[in-house]
Amino acid sequence: MIRNIYKQLLQWKKENINMPLMVIGARQVGKTYIIREFCEKEFSKNIYINLLEHSEIVNLFKEKISTEEKFIKLQLILNISIDIENSIIFFDEIQESEELISSLKYFCENEKPFKIICAGSLLGVKINRFNSSFPVGKVQMINMYPMSFDEFILANMPEMGKVLIDEIKKCYNENKNMDSVLHEKLINLYRIYICIGGMPACVDNYLKCTNDILKYNKEIIKNIINAYLNDMNKYVYNSFEATRIEDIYKTIPAQLENSSRKFQYSKIKKGARSKDYESALKWLYSSNLIHKCTALNSINIPPKAYIDNESFKLFLSDIGILTSLLELKYNEIILDNKFLYKGILVENFVAQEFISNNISLYYWKSKSDAEVDFVIYNDDGLIPIEVKSSENTKSKSLKVYMDRYNPKYAIRVSSKNFGFENNIKSVPLYATFLIK
């Protein structure tokens, strides 16, 4: 599978290879697969070390000896002599060793040309709860997420995917209608993506089923969800926090349909207070299992200075997980039937695409009842984005925003074809990945 993060790995190799690279992402997003592929393709020699399989290496880095001595002993344990000049070392599941993470400073500052890359499950949580000295400024960190929709296109159409993506880009840049047949084909592919999501194991199973959604194994995503729930007992302060983490996560599908259009602690349980769930929320943010979209109390630049910390929405990291937790029948999505949660699915999908593009999530809500789903900050200023699940693109809220704040333009994401009318750029759902 082609992953966009590969370009970032190549950039690290070209520009910053002497600084250890840390890839952070949730379990099962494909970190190990793509990093191993990168190491095998781009280096003449590569060493893969999974710390879950090498407790003796974890214990080694706990020893009160210099990092240089530890590296010598590491080679003895592995029974190899590492060619530092031509080799890359991939430490997987590095969250198992705080001491090794701290030692990354040694590899960065050493005169020898060490090339170190590392990844792990719940690595973000581990870093935020670090007891040792974290090597600030000595490690480059990048995030990895589930497969975005353009990656899904390439996986489904290995021969024509790049050509099709180029055509989508052309229509996006020129505000030109996509060929009606291709448009419908892409909308249908988008609906498949809503069903299974972007977890590589799920996508791989769908492809092995010859792209037949009826043969797709739903148990795969359920197993991933169960693994996430099991992870919620790791790197926690106590059992109470673990319970609160799980309670928040399980309530998100219901939270997204709140009439107040914001996260409410009372939906978790009666009498719940924000201070009781503060550390649990931070755990979930750090794990990359959820994404926070914060309300803006004023439309000014920079938006981060005008957020309302009391008003926010939470989205799940993968649309396939949300579909599974809602226990939705796939035919409801494929046939484009009307149902209450349809708009919520689309909104979560757009949030997921934005996160993959490193777009911060904000939304706007007036003191009355007007609300714009997302507001992004780019070279054109603050741009409002309205999300619709169908071709029905009427929106009073977007008009209220535009009349009040006069943005350079607005974006409407829906199943409608490309276009530009009344200062609103129409972007089909399948082209959300192009919004920067």
Q: Among residues 316, 342, 317, 318, which one has the least CA distance to residue 329?
A: 342
139 shares a domain with 27: yes
Q: How many domains does the chain have?
A: 2
Residue 67 forms part of a structural domain: yes
233 shares a domain with 95: no
Q: What is the mean pLDDT of residues 288-301?
A: 95
**pLDDT tens digits, 201-221:** 999 999 999 888 989 999 999
DSSP string, 230-289: HHTTSS-SSHHHHHHHHHHHHHHHHHTT-TTSS--GGGTSTT--HHHHHHHHHHHHHHTS
Q: What is the mean pLDDT of residues 274-289?
A: 94
What does the CA dihedral 53, 55, 61, 67 come to, rounded to 10 degrees?
-40
pLDDT at 338: 76
Report CA torsion sign: 37, 41, 43, 47.
Answer: positive
Residue 94 forms part of a structural domain: yes
95 shares a domain with 223: no
382 shares a domain with 286: yes
What domain range includes position 120? 5-143
Q: What is the mean pLDDT of residues 162-185?
A: 96
Contact between 244 and 277 under an 8 Å Cβ cutoff? The reply is: yes
Q: Model-level pTM greater than 0.85?
A: yes
Residues facing residue 291 across a β-bridge: 315
- pLDDT band for position 392 (cuts 50, 70, 90): low
375 shares a domain with 286: yes
**pLDDT tens digits, 357-370:** 999 999 999 887 78
Cα–Cα distance measured from residue 73 to residue 393, given in angstroms and rounded to the nearest whole number:
64
Cα–Cα distance measured from residue 321 to residue 129, given in angstroms and rounded to the nearest whole number:
26
Contact between 380 and 410 under an 8 Å Cβ cutoff? The reply is: no
Residue 109 forms part of a structural domain: yes
Q: Which among 143, 173, 194 is the end of a domain?
A: 143
Task: Round the average pLDDT of the chain to a whole number and report it.
Answer: 93
Cα–Cα distance measured from residue 423 to residue 370, given in angstroms and rounded to the nearest whole number:
19
Residue 18 forms part of a structural domain: yes
Residue 260 forms part of a structural domain: no
Extended strands (E) in 51-181: 87-92, 116-120, 140-143
- pLDDT band for position 389 (cuts 50, 70, 90): confident
226 shares a domain with 103: no
Cα–Cα distance measured from residue 421 to residue 424, given in angstroms and rounded to the nearest whole number:
5
Stretch (H or E) spanning 382: strand 381-387
Residue 103 forms part of a structural domain: yes
pLDDT of 327 over the 70 cut:
yes
Q: Is the peptide bond before 302 cis (omega within 30 degrees of 0)?
A: yes
**pLDDT tens digits, 138-171:** 999 999 999 999 999 999 998 899 999 999 999 9
**pLDDT tens digits, 253-275:** 888 877 677 889 988 988 888 88
What angle, rounded to 10 degrees, do the helices at 274-287 and 239-255 form?
Answer: 80
- pLDDT band for position 382 (cuts 50, 70, 90): very high
Q: Among residues 103, 138, 111, which one has the least CA distance to residue 19?
A: 138
Contact between 165 and 155 under an 8 Å Cβ cutoff? The reply is: no
Residue 382 forms part of a structural domain: yes
229 shares a domain with 112: no
pLDDT at 130: 84
One-letter amino acid for residue 408 of the chain: K
pLDDT at 128: 87
Q: Are strands 307-316 and 290-296 parallel, antiparallel or unpaired?
A: antiparallel
Cα–Cα distance measured from residue 430 to residue 373, given in angstroms and rounded to the nearest whole number:
17
The residues near 224 (Cβ < 8 Å, ≥ 6 apart) are 27, 28, 199, 201, 202, 321
pLDDT of 379 over the 90 cut:
yes
Say if residue 43 is exposed, middle or buried (CB neighbours under 10 Å; 0-12, 13-18, 19+). Answer: middle
Task: Report in angstroms the alpha-carbon separations of 90 from 59, 111, 361, 417.
Answer: 18, 19, 32, 44
pLDDT at 393: 64
Q: What is the mean pLDDT of residues 286-292?
A: 95
103 shares a domain with 232: no
123 shares a domain with 233: no
**pLDDT tens digits, 115-138:** 999 999 899 999 988 887 788 899
pLDDT at 340: 60
Q: Which among 143, 168, 190 is the end of a domain?
A: 143
pLDDT at 108: 95
105 shares a domain with 229: no
- pLDDT band for position 390 (cuts 50, 70, 90): confident
Residues facing residue 50 across a β-bridge: 92
pLDDT of 391 over the 80 cut:
no
Q: Which among 78, 109, 143 is the end of a domain?
A: 143
133 shares a domain with 224: no
Residue 170 forms part of a structural domain: no
CATH of residue 139? 3.40.50.300
367 shares a domain with 225: yes
Region of 419 please: left (phi>0), alpha (psi -120 to 50) or beta.
left
Q: How many CB atoms lie within 10 A of CB 261?
A: 16
**pLDDT tens digits, 343-358:** 889 999 999 999 999 9
pLDDT at 277: 92
